[in-house]
């Protein structure tokens, strides 16, 4: 089966990847997930771990107390528009709430 997931890296001002936003369809519903590296804590960006975290959030949800970083929030808005155009046959409901942002 063909993977029809959409993904986009979140980049810092220097162009380095710091996070990932994904969109996929689960149970005929467009779902978004994201991941972001906390470089101030000394973490290094790992593409495979970013995919695991982002798809996990798309599949299982974000939780009630999740705070979305501002740079991720901007990419989420763009991905939401992109996903609604790409997945025309599916419902427009998504798995995120932008009121959770910082």
Q: Check residue 19 and give its pLDDT.
A: 96
Question: What tens digit of pLDDT does each residue of 27-79 get?
Answer: 888 999 999 999 889 999 999 999 999 999 999 887 778 888 888 999 999 99
Q: What is the pTM of this model?
A: 0.81
Q: Check residue 35 and give its pLDDT.
A: 95
Q: Check residue 34 and give its pLDDT.
A: 94
Task: Please report, for residues 52, 68, 81, 91, the alpha-carbon distance to residue 85 in angstroms, rounded to integers and kept in the order given.
Answer: 25, 23, 6, 11
Q: Give the alpha-carbon dihedral of 69, 75, 81, 83, to 10 degrees.
A: -100
Select from 65, 55, 67, 68 the least CA-distant residue to 23: 55
The domain locations on the chain are: 6-97
């Amino acid at each position: 089966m063909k993977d029809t997931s959409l993904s986009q890296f979140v980049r810092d001002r220097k162009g380095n990847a710091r996070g990932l936003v994904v969109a996929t369809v689960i149970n005929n519903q467009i779902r978004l997930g994201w991941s972001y590296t906390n470089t101030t804590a000394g973490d290094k960006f790992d593409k495979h771990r970013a995919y695991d975290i982002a798809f996990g959030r798309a599949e299982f949800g974000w939780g009630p107390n999740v705070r979305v970083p501002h740079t991720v929030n901007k990419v989420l808005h763009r991905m939401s528009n992109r996903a609604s155009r790409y997945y025309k046959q599916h419902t427009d409901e998504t798995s995120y709430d932008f009121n959770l942002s910082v």
